[in-house]
Amino acid sequence: MSVLATPDEGIQPQAVLGANGEIHVVYFKGDPSGGDLYYARLTVRGDSSNVNGPPVRINSIAGSALAAGSVRGAQVALGRNGIVHVAWHGSKPLDGSGSPHPPVWYARSTDGSHFDDQRSLSGAISGIDGSTVAADRSGRVSVAWHGLGQQPGEDHRTVYLASSTNDGASFAAAVPATSVATGACGCCGLKALFDRDGTLNLLYRAATGGNHRDATWLAIRDGVARAPVRVHPWELEACPMSTFALADAGSDVAAAWETAQQIYSATLDPSTGSVRNLAAVPDTGLRKHPSIAVNAAGDRLLAWTEGTAWKRGGTFAWRITNRAGTELAHDADAGPVPVWGLVSVVAMPDRSFVIFR
């Protein structure tokens, strides 16, 4: 396993593996309240990496990305023909929109050398948070977030979805991802992933009754959403500013999240809507912001931050388990994480893992 610094001294890495073994990394630089996003391609060999070409700025409007809070950074997905898709929470309202709220931004690169001009996908929806993106090999791209609903309050916050069927060249107007009222925790993230059968999986934090902030799974197949599944309960009368992780696990999806300052993981079965093997990582701590990856042998790497909080950095830890859930290796104090920092993990073709910090 390799642990690598984010390129160019950036923060909040988001890494995905390309078809040719390259790792595609998106990261943030600049003022946390309004900075820029960059994209780089890396080849990793052992504990060293080589950046293949100069980093490319993603956002065409300078300073339009936000890092503060660690839940609103960019997310990245690779689609058909290696097209790079990036979504992020804006740092300020869109000029001329008439809205006082920042939008959800999207940009794509078809060649890895430059990005199209960024586009707002959230329309008139306000109070947005938790932007995420997923793409598949058929040309579908989905950008999701949560925002204010038809009535005030977190109970009525809604998960919205903007969808494309032409590799992100155009998107249909955003619509609610489900008609079921689950609410959404106002300052928590989302994570989206297309599984191998084409189901769009969304993991997010619901909010009902003022204190029910359960980790919730929404599966959408052929445009039809199943009933949301409450994966893990959390009774809390405040927003924990938490994030979520999903990874391909063959016919299943591996998931990770925070509940009560602890990191949990589970296996989601989109064919049945069932949740299996729900477990916490050993020991305790102030744990946040998980990332998860699964290699071809079924081994799972789960990494997370320790001790990070508002305007406070910390450290990160990781744990590898095999298909049966038996621990293979771990490191409880693997290195520093900067203020607003995150970790991102990738499973390599040779079954090794890479962690970006």
Q: Take residue 274 and report the two structure tokens written for it.
A: 């069932």
For residue range 200-235, list pLDDT tens digits in order.
Answer: 999 999 999 888 999 999 999 998 999 999 999 999
Query: Which token pair is 219?
Result: 């599966």
Give the per-residue pLDDT at 149: 83
Query: Token pair of 240, please?
Result: 């924990």
Cβ within 8 Å of residue 166, ≥6 positions away: 139
Using DSSP, state whether 306 is helix, strand or coil.
Answer: strand
How far is Cα 184 from Cα 123, in angstroms, rounded to an integer?
Answer: 19
pLDDT for res 93: 87
Indicate if the pLDDT at residue 348 is higher than 70: yes
Domains of the chain: 2-356 (2.120.10.10)
Looking at per-residue pLDDT, the higher value among 145 and 150 belongs to 145
Residue 47 has pLDDT above 70, yes or no: no
Which carries the bigger pLDDT value, residue 155 or residue 162? 162
**pLDDT tens, 275-320?**
999 999 999 999 999 999 999 999 999 999 999 999 999 999 999 9
Q: What is the DSSP string of 23-69?
A: EEEEEEES-TTSBEEEEEEEEEETTEEEE-S--EE--SSTT-B--TT
Predicted confidence (pLDDT) per residue in 319-346, tens digit: 999 999 999 999 999 999 999 999 999 9
pLDDT in tens, 109-124: 999 999 999 999 999 8
CA atoms of 317 and 306, how far apart (whole Å): 7
Which secondary-structure segment (H or E) carries 4?
Answer: strand 2-4
**Amino acid 341: pLDDT:** 96
What is the Cα–Cα distance from 181 to 154, expressed in whole angstroms?
Answer: 10
Q: Is 119 exposed, middle or buried (0-12, 13-18, 19+ CB in 10 A)?
A: middle
pTM for this entry: 0.96
- Chain center to CA of 34: 20
Alpha-carbon Rg for the chain, nearest whole angstrom, is 18
Q: Is 232 left (phi over 0), alpha (psi -120 to 50) or beta?
A: beta
d(CA 319, CA 28): 26
Q: How far apart are CA 13 and CA 106, in angstroms?
A: 17
Predicted local confidence at residue 151, as pLDDT:
83
Helices and strands: H and E segment counts in the chain: 0, 30
Phi, psi for 63 (deg, rounded to 5): 70, 20
Nearest to 160 by CA among 119, 130, 140: 130
Residue 135: CB partners within 8 Å, gap ≥ 6? 77, 78, 79, 80, 83, 85, 141, 142, 167, 168, 194
